[in-house]
Amino acid sequence: MIRDAQRKLGHAVADAFWTHAALYVGDGEIVEANWDRDLDDNPVSRVAVSTYVPHAYIRRRTMPDLSEKMQQAVADQADLRCGEDYSLLAAIDIYIKAQLRQFSRVAPPFVLRRSARGLVCADIVSTSYDHVLRRPAFANTDDDIVVPATLSATGELEDAEIAWCTIPDKSN
């Protein structure tokens, strides 16, 4: 569903491949907003990267021009979002806008009312950078929809090398 929506929003196949986004905060952990249909409560949380390895493709991207202090501020900002709600309504809103986009090149009007506190996965990354940079970091469309493909396509981020063998397994 997300790949289809990202393609309809105009993203390239290679960028639409990425269906989830989270922010690496150090010590082998990420902050993510993720929906689990088995849970009644789906808060933004800090999760060990090892929970995804080896079943997922993982790519770490950073903003290379930011100082270590500013990168830490981005991670701290993401940490502050922990406990906030995942917004299934916002995810559905993005999907509907993507479907409408195929019929019109004009950005569709806001479709559903989004919770002020509800987030989708790419919001964690984009709002954390926005807060630290004091400007929208990744908005690339008329309606400012930021999805994982946006974070893949942006020239603001670059792939960062990581030594996966040093990420501690915190699932035990």
- Which tens digit of pLDDT belongs to each residue from 123-163? 999 999 999 999 988 865 555 788 999 999 999 999 987 66
The tens digit of pLDDT for each residue in 102-116 reads 776 655 555 555 555
% of the chain with per-residue pLDDT over 90: 45
Contact criterion met (CB below 8 Å) for 72 and 49: no
Q: How many CB atoms lie within 10 A of CB 55?
A: 6
Angle between helices 121-133 and 68-80 (to 10 degrees): 130
pTM of the predicted protein model: 0.83
What are the DSSP calls for 30-41, one per residue?
A: EEE----TT-S-
Q: Are the C-beta atoms of 5 and 98 separated by less than 8 Å?
A: yes
What DSSP element (H or E) covers 81? Answer: none
Q: Which CATH architecture has domain 2-166?
A: Alpha-Beta Complex (3.90)
The answer to whether residues 100 and 112 touch, using CB atoms and an 8 Å cutoff, is no
Q: How far apart are CA 106 and CA 94, in angstroms?
A: 15
Beta-carbon contacts of 57 under 8 Å, excluding residues fewer than 6 positions away, are 17, 18
Please write the tens of the pLDDT for every residue from 40-86: 667 899 999 888 877 788 888 999 999 999 999 999 999 999 999 88
pLDDT (0 to 100) of residue 107: 55
Burial of 129 (0-12, 13-18, 19+ CB in 10 A): buried
Q: List strand residue ranges (DSSP E) for the chain, in order.
A: 23-26, 29-32, 45-48, 61-62, 158-159
Q: Taking every pair of C-alpha atoms in the chain, what is the biggest distance, in angstroms?
A: 50
